[in-house]
């Protein structure tokens, strides 16, 4: 009888242990716009892998690519995360800018020239102010990633000056700032989702598009008539690893630190991966017959001058403190 009670007690203890383990286990949704065929999607998956490994399987981040949690409408991702429909995301400053106007900083035309300028902003006072603006809207930002500087392609002709853009229909994302930029350059900006962009390029409904080299390369934009690619680094699109505020507050402090450090490590890994691949991507694109146009300083200066009014118009919406921090950062030698 004693032995029976002992086995019963052991069984009850094992069941309780299993129940506690189950209760401690957590699964969270993570939204991204691109799959792991792209550095963007790889950043989210790296974050998930690091969290799973470091929590010994107790915390699972399930990645949902292609903006599937918002029915493909990437501009709704931030709002969905804020409302709790999405737990976490690795999101784009472009896509989140309708809800966080300060993030339009990174879409200002020709504010930054290169990676050093971008790093000076994100890793300095400008980055802190941008993160503070996100947190004020109910989202906790953890780390930076990178979608890259956006370049211009088209099917009509080499673009070396604003005059070359006159009348060209260029697909742009759903942001008024992009509309203003390409209007200032004399183009005809056409807003559409990325899902609609490739068919439009295929049929010639639009002449060109702007995206990072990784997207041009992996999505094989050269196969839809995009024969000319202008490297102009006209704006950058940093990525942000972030968490819904309510989800964050419900986590134990140790889990918050684990999640944050994993995000920082994944972001650093993805930025290096993305930048190190640029030279090979460019070589592959050239090999596929695309004419790559590299602007001289004077040619780039003409684009800067043509879009100066756009910076002036949008600076007040971004805020003096953030604008001053960014301009000081890029002015440093």
* Domain range summary for the chain, segments of one domain joined by +: 26-331
Residue 8 clears pLDDT 70, i.e. is over it: no
Q: What percent of the chain lies above the pLDDT cut of 90?
A: 87
Q: Quick: pLDDT tens for 229-282.
A: 999 999 999 999 999 999 999 999 999 999 999 999 999 999 999 999 999 999
**5-9, 56-60, 131-135, 227-231: which has the minimum mean pLDDT?**
5-9
Residues in the chain: 333
Residue 22 clears pLDDT 80, i.e. is over it: no
pTM check: above 0.85: yes
Local confidence band at 18 (pLDDT 50, 70, 90 cut-offs): very low
Given this model, what pLDDT does residue 174 score? Answer: 83
Residue 81 clears pLDDT 80, i.e. is over it: yes
Find the mean pLDDT for residues 98-104.
96
Local confidence band at 207 (pLDDT 50, 70, 90 cut-offs): very high
Residue 9 clears pLDDT 80, i.e. is over it: no
Q: DSSP character for 209?
A: E
Distance in angstroms (rounded) separating the CA atoms of residues 223 and 244: 39
Could you tell me which residue, 20 or 35, shows the higher pLDDT?
A: 35
Q: Quick: pLDDT tens for 304-319.
A: 999 999 999 999 999 9
Q: Please state, rounded to an integer, the average pLDDT across all residues of the chain.
A: 92
Local confidence band at 5 (pLDDT 50, 70, 90 cut-offs): low
**Contact (CB, 8 A) for 187 and 170:** yes
Given this model, what pLDDT does residue 7 score? Answer: 41
Distance in angstroms (rounded) separating the CA atoms of residues 234 and 181: 10
Q: What percent of the chain lies above the pLDDT cut of 70?
A: 93
In CATH terms, is domain 26-331 a member of 3.40.190.170? yes
Given this model, what pLDDT does residue 73 score? Answer: 87
Given this model, what pLDDT does residue 261 score? Answer: 98
Cα 225 to chain centroid distance, Å, stands at 26
Distance in angstroms (rounded) separating the CA atoms of residues 170 and 153: 9
Given this model, what pLDDT does residue 194 score? Answer: 80
Residue 332 clears pLDDT 90, i.e. is over it: no
Q: DSSP string covering 112-165, please?
A: --SHHHHHHHHTSHHHHHHHHHHHTTTEEEEEEEEEEEEEEEESS----SGGGG
């Amino acid at each position: 009888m004693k032995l029976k009670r002992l086995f019963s007690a052991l069984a009850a203890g094992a069941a309780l242990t299993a129940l506690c383990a189950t209760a401690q286990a957590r699964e969270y949704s993570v939204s991204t716009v691109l799959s792991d065929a792209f550095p963007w999607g790889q950043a989210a998956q790296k974050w998930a892998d690091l969290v799973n490994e470091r929590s010994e399987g107790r915390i699972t981040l399930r990645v949902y690519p292609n903006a599937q949690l918002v029915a493909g409408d990437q501009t709704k991702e931030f709002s969905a995360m804020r409302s709790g429909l999405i737990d976490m995301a690795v999101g784009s400053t472009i896509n989140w800018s309708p809800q966080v106007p300060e993030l339009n900083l990174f879409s200002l035309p020709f504010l930054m020239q290169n990676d050093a300028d971008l790093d000076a902003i994100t890793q300095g006072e400008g980055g802190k102010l941008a993160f503070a603006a996100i947190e004020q809207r109910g989202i906790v930002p953890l780390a930076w990633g990178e979608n890259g500087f956006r370049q211009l392609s088209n099917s009509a002709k080499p673009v070396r000056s604003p005059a070359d853009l006159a009348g060209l229909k260029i697909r742009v994302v759903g942001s008024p700032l992009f509309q203003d930029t390409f209007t200032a350059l004399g183009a005809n900006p056409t807003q559409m989702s990325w899902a609609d962009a490739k068919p439009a390029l295929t049929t010639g409904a639009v002449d060109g598009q702007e995206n990072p080299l990784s997207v041009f390369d992996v999505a094989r934009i050269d196969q839809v008539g995009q024969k000319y690619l202008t490297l102009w680094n006209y704006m950058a699109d940093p990525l942000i690893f972030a968490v819904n505020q309510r989800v964050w507050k419900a986590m134990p402090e140790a889990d918050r630190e684990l999640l944050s450090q994993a995000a920082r490590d994944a972001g650093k890994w993805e930025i290096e991966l993305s930048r190190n691949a640029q030279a090979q991507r460019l070589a592959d694109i050239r090999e596929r017959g695309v004419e790559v146009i590299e602007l001289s300083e004077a040619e780039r200066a003409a684009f800067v001058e043509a879009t100066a009014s756009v910076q002036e118009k949008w600076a007040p919406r971004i805020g003096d403190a953030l604008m001053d921090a960014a301009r000081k950062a890029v002015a440093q030698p």
